[in-house]
Amino acid sequence: MDNKAVGRRVWEAVGGEKNVNSLVHCATRLRFKLKDESMADTQTLKNDPDVIQVVQSGGQYQVVIGSNVSDVYQSIVEEQGLTGTTDEKDTSKNPLNRLIDIISSIFTPFLGAMAAAGILKGFLSLALVLGWLAADSGAYQVLFAAADGVFTFLPVMLAFTAAKKFKTNQFLSVAIAMALVYPAMTELAGAGTAIDFFGLPIILSPSGYTSSVIPIILAVWVQSKFEPLVKKAIPQFLQMIFVPMIVLLVMVPLTFLVLGPIGTVVGNALGGLFNSIYGFSPLVAGLIMGSLWQVFVMFGMHWGFVPIMFLNIEQYGFDVLMPMLLPAILAQGGAALAVALRTKNTKLRSLGISSMITSLFGITEPTVYGVTLPLKKPFIVACISGGIGGAIIGVSGVKAFSSGLVSLLTIPTFISTNEAVESSVMMAVIATAVGFVLAFVGTLLIGFDESPQSEQTIETKVTTAGDAIGSARLNLKSPLTGKVLPLSEVPDPVFSSGAMGKGIAIDPDKGELIAPADGEITTIFPTGHAVGLTTTEGVEILMHIGMDTVELEGAGFETFVKQGDHVKAGDVLVTFDIDQIKTAGYSVITPIVVTNTDQFADVLELDQDEIIASEDFLAIVK
């Protein structure tokens, strides 16, 4: 590949200097921020033999190059006179993309905790209704504190993640949030007591700012603009004390006086807009949301609805949007199960069954990207089935009384101890079953066009690789210890589609990446999240630790090699803190792919569920 020629073609296709706001790269992609994405010649790029794929997501125009992306990037930087900085200021003119990027960055890190708390809250409601626990019992009080604490003090969690997104002091942001939910202020709000700040009236909603969303996000954004001005005005040796003090002195009153009320009004307007549509026709609202939800997820647009769910619960005590989504999610699982029963491909069958199970728990990425979407017809059938189920839920008036990751486990959140909702909960179960069964039966009847090899072909290939090729087979050692997953379950379409090459993924138990073979380090990022190795046999291997972990900027990673180093199989390349990465909201699932797959007869998995580092895990057929 002529990296300079590729760089020129890509630069010209995206619109050149007049259309490029910024350019950075990760392990496989050039990530452009364009002034106008419609000016880019996407079809030309997709037809380029040296471009693997083009992905437009979250305000970024991503051109997937492969393991030599850094060389192409460098050639563009040099020829176009760019600075080569990795600063990714979002100057996109598309406000929707910018908003979605902000919301996803703020909510993603604590989705796990929020989902767990929501499910626990639902099960506690079920326990009260069935008489398993009494509301005044110590056990209930402790468990309810665990379930409700996340939602009561939601502004504190939002402040921390918003501060990271807006690149401002996280602990000052948390201090502002703590002032908003300070018990004495919440009590004043609940009592309806009028208060003022040096004569200026403070407007408090009846519940104060507990469980609120927009006020604290707005406050942290203003803080990110105000704090740098304070730093410029204060001498360096006084900044440690006086910058935090001035920020708190200004931001807390400003939030109570101005930003909080503005955020409350905006939030009420957003919630009111959706509920107006719902009030006009619950059936249509359920049909639209159930049919299009997975499409929204594919394009990242689903994040725009997350604040509405929180705002509904904050304002009304319940949400009607979340229940509509349950049939859409389960319908994808029904379609995947039908694919598993109908296909002759053993690997697709295994993936269909496993992804059906994950969809029951609200995780649809493996189902959509690995099964239904590539086969097209099952995806369409599932969307239609989800819409029918969503319409039933809409008409039935099903409500959710706490937020969480939508799955079968969220059904108890549709139960309220203050209302007789048994009938609506039953309708939610029926609607969800309808979505699942319709998708299952519809996929079985309509079928799908499948190009994967038949079971007989796969068995023949494995036999040949294991028994006949002898010295033509080269085994690679596993660089990680953990659970083995097919690439199709990687939550990134570039890896899961096989566009980068064949291989497997590992969900690691131990944060240590070792060399899978003797060879030379051809690529290693300063952040430590991705390593490229060319073995002495000419196998080019890319090991990408986690998804989007480049955003951590090296936090939690330590590298032990550099580009050009020669290593032996088993040498430690990178260590990484699994807990720190997960706490930051990122997956540690690590795809390991042979990027020059086309130079070999095949790359075969060895059919393992668990693996230990240095154990054979891939067979290269020459």
Bridge partners, residue 574, by sequence: 513, 559
Range of the domain at 123: 108-274
* pTM of the model as a whole: 0.51
Band (pLDDT 50/70/90 cuts) for residue 572 is very high
Tell me if 394 is assigned to some domain: yes
> How far apart, in Å, are the Cα atoms of 244 and each of 134, 220, 230, 587?
45, 14, 9, 33
Q: What is the rounded CA–CA span in Å between residue 304 and residue 292?
A: 14
Distance CA 127, CA 120 (A): 10
DSSP 290-352: HHHHHHHHHTTGGGGGHHHHHHHHHHHS-BSHHHHHHHHHHHHHHHHHHHHHH---HHHHHHH
Q: Which residue has the higher pLDDT, 622 or 584?
A: 584
DSSP letter at 281 equals -
- The pLDDT of residue 366 is 64
Q: Quick one: pLDDT at residue 369?
A: 67
Residue 86 in any domain: the answer is no
587 with 486, same domain?
Answer: yes
What mean pLDDT comes out for the span 410-432? 76
Boundary (domain end) residue, out of 274, 292, 327: 274
Give me the CATH number covering residue 63: 3.30.1360.60
Domain total in the chain: 4
Average pLDDT over the chain reads 83
Compute the average pLDDT of residues 96-107: 70
pLDDT average, residue stretch 412-420:
68
Which of 317-321, 401-405, 511-515 has the highest mean predicted lDDT (pLDDT)? 511-515
What is the mean pLDDT of the segment spanning 239-258? 92
Res 221 pLDDT > 80: yes
The pLDDT of residue 3 is 85
Q: Which residue has the higher pLDDT, 17 or 81?
A: 17
* Residue 436 in domain: yes
User: Tens digits of per-residue pLDDT, 152-186?
Assistant: 898 999 999 899 888 899 999 999 999 999 999 88
Catalytic residues: 26
pLDDT on residue 457:
34
Q: Does 322 lie in the same domain as 267?
A: no
Does residue 454 fall inside a structural domain?
A: no
Residue 463 is assigned to a structural domain of this protein: no
Whether 534 is in a domain gets the answer: yes
Task: Return the structure tokens found at 255.
Answer: 């939030």
List, for residues 474-504, the tens digit of each pLDDT value. Answer: 888 999 999 999 888 888 877 887 778 889 9
DSSP codes, 177-197: HHHHT-HHHHHHHHHT--EEE
d(CA 575, CA 585): 18
Determine whether 470 is exposed, middle or buried from the number of CB atoms within 10 Å of its CB (0-12, 13-18, 19+).
exposed
Q: Same domain for 595 and 502?
A: yes
With respect to residue 375, please indicate whether it lies within any of the assigned structural domains. Answer: yes
Same domain, 331 and 254: no
407-411: long-range contacts (C-beta < 8 A, 24 or more apart)? 407/326, 407/329, 407/360, 407/361, 407/362, 407/363, 408/326, 408/330, 408/360, 408/361, 408/432, 409/119, 409/122, 409/361, 409/362, 410/118, 410/119, 410/122, 410/322, 410/326, 410/362, 411/122, 411/326
* % of the chain residues with pLDDT over 70: 87
What pLDDT was estimated at residue 355? 78
The mean per-residue pLDDT over the stretch 224-236 comes to 91
Last residue within a domain, chosen from 216, 242, 274: 274
Q: Between 150 and 88, name the one with better pLDDT.
A: 150
Which of 68-72, 82-86, 191-195, 329-333 shows the lowest mean pLDDT across its residues?
82-86
Residue 383: band (very low, low, confident or very high) from pLDDT cuts 50, 70, 90: very high
> Is 401 a residue whose pLDDT tops 70?
yes
Same domain as 581, residue 495: yes
- The percent of residues above 90 in pLDDT, for the chain, comes to 31
Degrees to nearest 5, angle at CA 48 with 47 and 51: 110
More confident residue, 83 or 147: 147
Q: 241 versus 270: which is more confidently predicted? A: 241
Torsion angle in degrees (nearest 10) through CA of 281, 284, 286, 288: -140
Residue 481's domain is classified under what CATH number?
2.70.70.10
Q: Which long-range contacts (CB under 8 A, 24 or more apart) does 266-271 make?
A: 266/214, 267/212, 267/213, 267/214, 267/215, 267/307, 267/311, 267/314, 267/315, 268/311, 268/315, 270/307, 270/308, 270/311, 271/308, 271/311, 271/312, 271/315, 271/316
pLDDT for residue 84: 44
Examine residue 99 and state whether it is found in any structural domain, yes or no.
no
Token couple for 218: 């707005």
443-473 pLDDT, tens digit each: 999 988 765 333 333 333 333 333 433 335 6
What confidence score (pLDDT) does residue 559 get? Answer: 93
